[in-house]
Structure 1
Amino acid sequence: MRQNPLRTLFAQKKLALNGWASIGNSFLAEVVADCGYDAVTVDLQHGLFSIESAVPMLQAISTTNAAPLVRCSENSLGEINKLLDAGAYGVICPLINSKEDAERFVRACHYSPRGGRSYGPARGVLYGGKDYFEHANRTVLTLAMIETRQGLAAVEDILSVPDLDGIFIGPSDLAIELGLTPDSWSDDKVDQAIKHLITVSHARGKYVGIFCGSVEMAERMKAYGVDMLTPGTDVQLLRAETSRRIGILRG
């Protein structure tokens, strides 16, 4: 089976950079993936498109060296199964608030006896290889989003779930939960929460990813030792570069 580069980088203790595809267009997803990211996540939670659009986006990402990841819209076995069958090599699941949530998520991502995933990876076999079934459980990356007070409080129980590879921190929702605005990543309450999540995860040998809304935040998270960071969505980067060029030309 094709290797998951995120697992390789984690074993080598090297940072992975993750692109974020929130516009439902396969060509744009391919362009993002071709920029040099180690992975690109197709976002079904906040992306304004359905699973029908996600499949050609995964196909487009697969033409590059970036690993195709997804953020599912919810903790749903049916949706997660379809996305994995379509060739996703990792799943970020939003709103994991308890050990039970994490167990349900992990079960959806693994074949028996480690889970309850149904067999039928039509495109997964095309991308991963003919021995997909034998290695999928050890190749697909499972990351639980921690973005609420409940998830923050229960993180150690969540991390105790067998076969959960790690967490993905949602700093904007976490800031809102802590009574702040979504862009308050540098506030001490959010900063301490993020450092706590990184510390407890790494103490268990678990993976830590995080979304960063700015280069400044990404640099701080890199210094904190996260394993994967996302330096903005396709929309954010498109707006930023467009605004920068217009600003230069308008003087």
Structure 2
Amino acid sequence: MTFASRLAAGETLFTSWSGIPDAITVEVVASLGFDAVTLDMQHGGHHEDSVLRGIAPIQHANRHPVVRIPVGRWDMASRALDFGAEAVIAPMVNSVADAQRFAAAMKYPPVGERSWGPTFAMPRAGGGDAKNWLRESNAGTVSFAMIETKAALAALDGILETPGIDGIFVGPADFSIAWTDGATVDSTLEEMMETITSIASRTRAAGKHAGMYVVDAGMCGRFVGMGYNLLAIGAEHRYMALGAEALLSAARNSIR
């Protein structure tokens, strides 16, 4: 099943987060058991070449490749799809105009303005007929607009109504900074949780998918209860730290 079909079927999907721009590291991350791997170009070190090379090991591991593009790099949304990404997350979509530009890069006409050229995507997907690819791609690629600011929250309904926008992805760290007017960064800030719930309910009511970056994995159940069905958990540094902590603790306890 594709990433889009699994979301449409109501599955809750977990994506790992990759910031190290190395295909071998991505290969290891893809083996960890997550449903998808997100290559982060915004705050992570990924770039065009590492995305191009990183998608292949994700596919080889039968995981879904997702890319978070840099702020305003709508051209990279199309590039990521042409490399084989199944979904793209766009940060700082703060207006309907931003959403329209993002959707235009994500979808072929008549929905958007994506240029034809799936040079790597089609072969990596096993080839196939170009007409079928054109006909099925708009439904098979998932566009997530990130909601991280007060401006984005105010424009949420218009963003959800934008043709070609398939979902909303909440960035809780930036949202907490916006919520507190720069006073703190707290991804689990309790005073914003009612609004976080409202974002999910409005998104699901519009027939769209709701995603969230989760800092505290113990919050996942609560977020699923709100309506979020794509959850991003941790990154390579966190995975290595937790693994090393567990191994060292076992070793030291065995000596004691």
Q: State TM-score, norm by structure 2.
A: 0.90
- Answer whether contact 2:201 2:226 (CA < 8 A) is retained: no
The 1:183–1:250 alpha-carbon spacing in structure 2 relative to 1, beyond 3 Å, is: farther
Matches within 5 A, 1:101-250: 101-128=98-125, 129-131=127-129, 132-179=133-180, 180-185=183-188, 187-250=189-252
Among candidates 82, 85, 110, match of residue 85 of structure 1: 82
State the 1:83 CA deviation: 1.3
Q: Does residue 1:34 correspond to 2:44, yes or no? A: no
Instruction: Give the alignment's Cα RMSD to 1 decimal.
Output: 1.7
- Answer whether contact 1:172 1:181 (CA < 8 A) is retained: no
Deviations 1:139-162 (A, max 9, x none): 000000001111112111110101
State the 1:177 CA deviation: 0.9
CA distance in 1, matches of 2:227, 2:135: 32
Structure 1, unmatched stretches of 5+, are none
**SS of equivalent to 2:215:** coil
Deviations 1:114-143 (A, max 9, x none): 111111111011123323223111100000
- Answer whether contact 1:90 1:142 (CA < 8 A) is retained: yes
Q: Which residue of 2 aligns with 1:76?
A: 73
State the 1:250 CA deviation: 4.4
Deviations 1:203-251 (A, max 9, x none): 1111001110121122321232311101212222222222333344445
State the 1:95 CA deviation: 0.3
Between 223-232 and 162-171, the greater mean CA deviation after superposition: 223-232
The alignment-based identity, stated in percent, is 32
Which structure has the bigger radius of gyration? 2
The 1:167–1:73 alpha-carbon spacing in structure 2 relative to 1, beyond 3 Å, is: same
CA distance in 1, matches of 2:15, 2:226: 17
Corresponding letter in the other structure for 1:134: R
**SS of equivalent to 1:37:** coil
**SS of equivalent to 2:240:** helix
- Answer whether contact 1:23 1:235 (CA < 8 A) is retained: no
**SS of equivalent to 2:60:** coil
CA distance in 1, matches of 2:251, 2:33: 28
- Answer whether contact 2:15 2:38 (CA < 8 A) is retained: yes
Q: Does residue 1:94 correspond to 2:94, yes or no? A: no
Deviations 1:48-89 (A, max 9, x none): 232111111111111012111100112323222221111111
- Answer whether contact 2:212 2:228 (CA < 8 A) is retained: yes
Corresponding letter in the other structure for 2:190: D
Corresponding letter in the other structure for 1:204: A
Corresponding letter in the other structure for 2:142: L
Corresponding letter in the other structure for 1:44: M
Deviations 1:160-211 (A, max 9, x none): 10121010110011011112533341x2322122101101101111100111
Structure 2, unmatched stretches of 5+, are none
Between 229-238 and 167-176, the greater mean CA deviation after superposition: 229-238
Deviations 1:83-106 (A, max 9, x none): 111111110000001111101000
- Answer whether contact 2:37 2:63 (CA < 8 A) is retained: yes
